[in-house]
Structure 1
Amino acid sequence: MVDECSGTDGGDDGTAALTGEARLARGRAQLARITGRSGEEVMTALADVAPDFARYIFEFGYGDIYSRPGLDLRTRMLATVAGLVCLGHAERELEVHIGSALNCGASREEVVETIMQMALYGGFPAALDALFVAKRVFAAHGLEPDAR
């Protein structure tokens, strides 16, 4: 779908050498690359309760982890979907990350197969719940079901 997420960020891992502001900037840029959104809604939503937590999401999650070399973003997003399925209680995050997987080039079929595979490890109820989340995300992205 979108090729914005192919490959890694092109840089080295150098996270230890970056300042907090540089990590924050890299995290914001990576989030925008993955989701197509700035992430300001995250900062705003947490501003009055835990603004530092929002910053940690950007600095560590997106600035450090999602920016590492070694896996392309499509693969990272499918792995993220798998982990969220296994948690079994992350509907909001699944919705965001399924959409992000699609943005990063994963196909509808790859997302479904990833979720189905997790039934073995996270359980059938978790996989079933995730499939219903995926169904909503696919509809929002205009992806039609496979004609089987």
Structure 2
Amino acid sequence: MSKSERFQQGAARLQDMGNNSPIGSRLLEVCPDLNDYIREFAFGDVHSRPGLSKREHELVILSAIATLGYAPVELKSHINMALNVGVTRAEILEVFIQLAVYAGFPAAVNAVFTAKEVFDERDQQGLDKDCGKDTH
């Protein structure tokens, strides 16, 4: 697959995931090559692999980014994408609860607070009105 095919596949995957992140547009201003690499490799090659569903990809990604503890912009982006592909708010919070054991309470707490910001933003935009709000 050529670079442009990989880029197009990544762009299509991002669109399919309902990407509404500012990351790409901000990178285009500063470092367009990095934006291309993310689209081509992360979304065109890896995220588009058939072994996991979109939901499963996002649950894994949420876990990994939250564990890092230093990537709030990326975490917000993927919380949004997870919600866009049918992961519920309760499932997202459950992922972060599970992280408390394996990544530590600070990572879990920060992830929950980031999720709350995303949930509040989506509520203000009128998103997720009838689904995904279940809590334990």
Range class of TM-score, shorter chain: 0.7 to 0.9
- Aligned 8 A contact 2:75 2:114 in 1: yes
Please name the residue that 2:12 is paired with.
29
- Aligned 8 A contact 2:27 2:34 in 1: yes
CA separation of 1:54/1:36 partners in 2, compared to 1, >3 Å: closer, same or farther? closer
Superposition pairs of residues 107-122 of structure 1, within 5 angstroms: 107-122=88-103
Q: Which has the higher contact order (CA 8 A, sep 6+)?
A: 1
The structure with the greater share of residues assigned to helix is 2
Determine the C-alpha separation between the residues in 2 that align with 1:111 and 1:76: 13
- Give the CA deviation at 1:146: 5.1
Gaps spanning 5+ residues in structure 2: where? none
Please name the residue that 1:19 is paired with.
2
Could you tell me the TM-score, scaled by structure 1's length? Answer: 0.79
Does 2:118 align with 1:137?
Answer: yes
1:33-75 CA distance string (max 9 Å, x none): 11344x7x54442234322111000000110111100100001
- Aligned 8 A contact 1:27 1:58 in 2: yes
Match of 1:82 among 53, 63, 75: 63
- Aligned 8 A contact 1:88 1:122 in 2: no
How well do the aligned residues superpose, as a CA RMSD in angstroms?
Answer: 2.0
**Could you list the runs of 4 or more consecutive aligned residues of structure 1 that deviate by over 3 angstroms after TM superposition?**
41-44, 143-148
Q: Which amino acid counterpart does residue 118 of structure 2 have in structure 1? A: V
- Give the CA deviation at 1:100: 0.7
Please name the residue that 1:73 is paired with.
54
Overall identity of the aligned pairs, in %: 39
Larger Rg: 1
Gaps spanning 5+ residues in structure 1: where? 1-17
Determine the C-alpha separation between the residues in 1 that align with 2:32 and 2:44: 17
Could you tell me the TM-score, scaled by structure 2's length? Answer: 0.85
